[in-house]
């Protein structure tokens, strides 16, 4: 067999049988019309049934030992996911070449059978067949880091490490394994960088949250395909940069690149984080009009987006329209009901899921326990917690304990919650301790809060949330010396309190506000609307809940500070910027205070508007003077 075919740097193996970039050397068999016709039919097979008919014709004409036809059949079967048929054809080969082995390895790697791909590589080496660049580029797609390092050494020995496709595969291996420095060193040593290698490096940085570095490589990539755009957009969406993700998405559309399934899922995630319902609806419309497949992956992303953007009705419609619902889709719908306070709907959905034979997983129980915690269903919560362990053999994770602690402590069973924390088989994290402290503030348990805080400080587990909650507890009880002490601790520890921020989407643009904000172009109109709201409140004899102001101020100053909370500014902007009767949707990064909660109920009554507010804990639907949470949040 001549090796001149692989002396030049070839492209990676094609992923479907329709491409014939790599074929074994021609045999000495006479070039008859029949094999040529069959080869053409195999390359252009339209379905598995069609391929089986071609295979039958090949057998009828006694061509089952024809090397090129067998090779093409082997590749075609794997392209339809029929690995067993592909392996059977390979085994019919008494003297398989490097091309046959490489095809076999590539097929298994491409279909995710990574371990078997590595075993075939080892078997090929044991049979004395030397791998080529195709082989390495195929096997590197599937191997873990340690195996990749061994293959790297082997590629160096064979003089194949300089091949651009092999080097790109190695960059990808190190990137997936988290060895960013090694990946970058290989990347920098490449004389020519292909789009694939550039995308691999962007993926490496984006995956590990190094977004500035990822963007730098992205910006130097002149010819970008949809995969390259997707990696950068998803990097922003997955690492808390939803605004940047949406800006980049608009640039992608401006560049004339057509979004695909992966794009819309990432953008929907960004919309959900921001509460950008209008843009989310546009993406949904784009999916329908551009033929993007509404599979479980896309459908679930839509359910999550609509749920997080406050439109539970749309989430339900999408969920019901999905033909195939996997456990992830069911989990998303259950959690959607949970965060909107529709606990009975969440419990009913869980029951329907189980009746249909879909087994719940650990995420399912986080969702259902969250539903219980938002309405104080203690008995049901314990039932689900025990069901998870006893029937489904799922060991509770920190998140499950967190849900139970939240359920118990918010319902007033603080001692029971504290006991559960002390008996946990897992080390409690800052979230669980923060949940306990938050409940201490809610139920005015200052002594218990001090005990927990002292424990956390002593164990060096205190964070910003710990100090803030303790400070708030002292402030609520009027202990300003205690507040001063905590703030001194915060300052000496370098802890910075998270600022409250509220956002609202109007005309496809997200507007953000902080307390007392006057930076908005319509600030004058916003404050005039606030004055009008205050006048309405006086007609209802509303008295501000100044005990929620956690600063040592006079009564009048406390009232003034409440009037300019970020959610009030966002609501005022919504009132002046949208038509009468339009639903106003607000997203707040912290828990809404009780005064703003009471005022928003009255605003919904006075204006006839529905106001949907998402705070850190859950959704609040304000309609005609009442809230969906029933004042339990």
Measured distance CA(176)–CA(592) in Å, rounded: 40
The pLDDT score that the predictor gives to residue 523 is: 96
Query: pLDDT by residue (tens digit) across 585-627?
Result: 999 998 898 899 999 999 999 999 999 999 998 999 999 999 9
Measured distance CA(410)–CA(394) in Å, rounded: 25
The pLDDT score that the predictor gives to residue 633 is: 81
Question: Please, what is the average pLDDT of the chain?
Answer: 87
Strand-pairing partners, residue 505, are 510
What is the band of 553 on the pLDDT scale with cuts at 50, 70, 90?
Answer: low
Tell me how far apart the terminal alpha carbons of the chain are, to the nearest angstrom.
Answer: 75
Q: Give the sign of the dihedral formed by CA 401, CA 407, CA 410, CA 414.
A: negative
Query: pLDDT by residue (tens digit) across 233-279?
Result: 999 999 999 999 999 999 999 999 999 999 999 999 999 999 999 99
The pLDDT score that the predictor gives to residue 83 is: 85
What is the band of 550 on the pLDDT scale with cuts at 50, 70, 90?
Answer: low
What is the band of 558 on the pLDDT scale with cuts at 50, 70, 90?
Answer: low
The pLDDT score that the predictor gives to residue 28 is: 42
Residues 249, 233: contact at Cβ < 8 Å?
Answer: yes
Instruction: Tell which wins on pLDDT, 498 or 349.
Output: 349
Which of 71-85, 114-128, 221-235 bottoms out in mean pLDDT, i.e. has the lowest?
71-85
Residues 489, 467: contact at Cβ < 8 Å?
Answer: yes
| Chain center to CA of 471 | 34
The pLDDT score that the predictor gives to residue 113 is: 86
Token digits for 20? 């014939």
Residues contacting 316, CB < 8 A, separation 6+? 333, 336
Residues 272, 309: contact at Cβ < 8 Å?
Answer: yes
Task: List the domain boundaries for the chain.
Answer: 9-142, 224-324, 510-627
Q: What percentage of the chain has pLDDT greater than the value 90?
A: 53
Instruction: Tell which wins on pLDDT, 339 or 433.
Output: 339
The pLDDT score that the predictor gives to residue 430 is: 78
Is residue 197 scored above 70 in pLDDT?
Answer: yes
For 310-326, b/e burial (b = at least 16 CB within 10 A) is: bbbebbbebbeebeebe
Most confident of 20-29, 143-152, 347-356: 347-356
The pLDDT score that the predictor gives to residue 549 is: 60
Token digits for 9? 């740097």
What is the band of 68 on the pLDDT scale with cuts at 50, 70, 90?
Answer: confident
Measured distance CA(84)–CA(304) in Å, rounded: 38
- Cite the DSSP H helix spans in 80-225: 83-91, 98-110, 114-126, 133-139, 145-157, 164-176, 180-188, 195-207, 211-220
Task: Count CB-CB contacts under 10 A for residue 612.
Answer: 23
- pTM score: 0.80
Is residue 331 scored above 90 in pLDDT?
Answer: yes
The pLDDT score that the predictor gives to residue 229 is: 97
| Chain center to CA of 443 | 35
Measured distance CA(468)–CA(428) in Å, rounded: 19
Which of 241-245, 262-266, 342-346, 412-416 bottoms out in mean pLDDT, i.e. has the lowest?
412-416
The pLDDT score that the predictor gives to residue 1 is: 34
For 377-396, what is the mean pLDDT? 96
What is the band of 530 on the pLDDT scale with cuts at 50, 70, 90?
Answer: very high
Is residue 8 scored above 60 in pLDDT?
Answer: no
Rounded to 5°, the CA angle 411-490-399 comes to 35
Continuous segment of H or E residues that includes residue 570? helix 566-577
Token digits for 248? 């980049």
Query: pLDDT by residue (tens digit) across 453-484?
Result: 777 777 777 777 677 777 777 776 777 777 78
Continuous segment of H or E residues that includes residue 624? none
Is residue 16 scored above 50 in pLDDT?
Answer: no
3-state secondary structure of 385: helix
For 370-404, b/e burial (b = at least 16 CB within 10 A) is: bbbbbbbbbebbeebbeebeeeeebebeebbbbbb
The pLDDT score that the predictor gives to residue 7 is: 28
Residues contacting 57, CB < 8 A, separation 6+? 38
- What Å distances lie between residue 377 and 268, 382, 387, 519, CA to CA? 32, 9, 15, 43
Is residue 12 scored above 90 in pLDDT?
Answer: no
* CA-based R_g, the chain, Å: 31
What is the band of 191 on the pLDDT scale with cuts at 50, 70, 90?
Answer: confident
Rounded to 5°, the CA angle 187-189-193 comes to 55
For 528-543, what is the mean pLDDT? 93
Token digits for 578? 């949208």
Instruction: Tell which wins on pLDDT, 599 or 178.
Output: 599
- What Å distances lie between residue 576 and 110, 278, 586, 614, CA to CA? 55, 18, 14, 20
Most confident of 22-26, 32-36, 53-57: 53-57
């Amino acid at each position: 067999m001549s090796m001149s075919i692989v002396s030049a740097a070839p492209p990676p193996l094609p992923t479907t049988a329709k491409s014939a970039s790599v074929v074994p050397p021609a045999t000495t068999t006479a070039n008859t019309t029949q094999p040529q016709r069959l080869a053409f039919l195999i390359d252009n097979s339209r379905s598995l049934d069609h391929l089986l008919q071609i295979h039958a014709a090949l057998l009828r004409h006694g061509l089952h030992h024809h090397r090129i036809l067998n090779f093409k059949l082997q590749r075609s079967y794997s392209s339809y996911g029929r690995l067993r048929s592909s392996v059977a054809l390979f085994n019919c080969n008494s003297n398989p070449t490097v091309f046959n082995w490489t095809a076999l390895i590539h097929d298994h790697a491409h279909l995710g059978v990574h371990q078997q791909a590595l075993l075939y590589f080892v078997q090929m080496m044991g049979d004395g067949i030397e791998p080529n660049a195709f082989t390495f580029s195929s096997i590197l797609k599937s191997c873990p880091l340690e195996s990749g390092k061994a293959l790297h050494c082997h590629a160096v020995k064979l003089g194949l490490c300089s091949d651009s496709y092999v080097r790109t595969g190695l960059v990808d291996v190190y990137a997936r394994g988290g060895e960013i420095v090694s990946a970058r060193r290989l990347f920098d040593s490449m004389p020519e960088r292909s789009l694939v290698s550039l995308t691999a490096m962007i993926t490496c940085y984006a995956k590990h949250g190094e977004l500035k570095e990822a963007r730098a490589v992205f910006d130097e990539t002149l010819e970008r395909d949809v995969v390259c755009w997707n990696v950068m957009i998803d990097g922003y969406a997955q690492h808390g940069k939803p605004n940047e993700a949406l800006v980049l998405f608009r640039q992608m559309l401006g560049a004339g690149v057509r979004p695909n399934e992966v794009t819309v899922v990432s953008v929907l995630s960004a919309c959900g984080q921001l509460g950008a319902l209008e843009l989310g609806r546009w993406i949904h419309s784009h999916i329908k009009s551009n033929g993007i497949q509404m599979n479980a992956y896309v459908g679930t992303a839509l359910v999550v987006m609509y749920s997080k953007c406050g439109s539970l009705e749309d989430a339900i419609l999408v969920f019901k329209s999905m033909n195939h619902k996997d456990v992830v889709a069911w989990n998303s719908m259950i959690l959607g009901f949970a965060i909107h306070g529709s606990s009975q709907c969440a419990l009913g959905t869980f029951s329907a899921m189980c009746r249909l034979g879909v087994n719940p997983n650990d995420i399912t129980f986080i969702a259902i326990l969250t539903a219980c915690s938002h309405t104080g269903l203690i008995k049901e919560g314990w039932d689900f917690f025990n069901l998870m362990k006893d029937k489904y053999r799922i060991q509770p994770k920190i998140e499950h304990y967190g849900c139970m602690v939240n359920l118990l402590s918010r319902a007033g069973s603080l001692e029971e919650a504290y006991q559960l924390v002390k008996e946990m088989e897992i080390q409690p994290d800052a979230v669980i301790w923060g949940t306990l402290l938050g409940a201490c503030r809610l139920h005015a348990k200052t002594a218990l809060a001090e005990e927990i805080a002292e424990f956390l400080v002593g164990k060096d587990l205190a964070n910003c949330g710990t100090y803030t909650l303790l400070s708030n507890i002292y402030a609520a009880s009027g202990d300003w010396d205690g507040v001063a002490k905590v703030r001194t601790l915060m300052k000496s520890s370098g802890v910075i309190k998270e600022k409250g921020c509220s956002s609202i989407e109007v005309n496809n643009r997200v507007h953000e506000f902080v307390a007392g904000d006057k930076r908005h172009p319509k600030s004058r109109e916003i404050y005039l609307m606030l004055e009008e709201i205050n006048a309405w409140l006086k007609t209802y004899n509303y008295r501000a809940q100044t005990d929620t102001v956690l600063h040592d101020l006079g009564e009048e100053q406390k009232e003034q500070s409440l009037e300019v909370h970020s959610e009030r500014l966002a609501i005022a902007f919504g009132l002046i910027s949208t038509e009468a009767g339009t639903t106003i949707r607000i997203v707040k990064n912290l828990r809404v205070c009780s005064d703003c909660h009471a005022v928003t109920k009255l605003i919904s009554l006075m204006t006839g508007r529905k106001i949907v507010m998402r705070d850190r804990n859950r959704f609040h639907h304000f309609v005609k003077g009442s809230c969906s949470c029933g004042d339990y949040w």
